[in-house]
Structure 1
Amino acid sequence: MKQIKIQWQDQFGHWQQYQTVHHEANASRTAQKRASTTGKRHRLIDEDNRVLDIIEP
């Protein structure tokens, strides 16, 4: 089962780890909701550190 990391971008442009999940659809929903509430960019990364999605607030 593959792991998906949810990361958010701080005010300095650095990506910070938020959460690791195993279900891609759930990761996408969580990142979408958190991006809209915090107003910060989020991205989904797979176990090989490839960017799957970038979510804008």
Structure 2
Amino acid sequence: MTSKPLQDDTAYVRLGGFAPDAAERVFKAISRLGAGRTLTGACWTCAATAAAAPAR
């Protein structure tokens, strides 16, 4: 997972794939990015690869 602030007031979080705790990890990352500032937005993406996807 990668997280960083965008333009000082927006949080960006990129997941490498879904896991049972994915939502909790995203919310924690957003919370850390918002420490000491007011966030006005959040953007997150999930960039799962074929290797991380479950077999069909």
Q: What TM-score comes out, normalization by structure 1 length?
A: 0.37
Give 1 or 2 for the bigger CA radius of gyration: 2
Q: Return the structure number with greater strand share.
A: 1
Structure with the larger RCO, 1 or 2 (CA within 8 Å, 6+ apart): 2
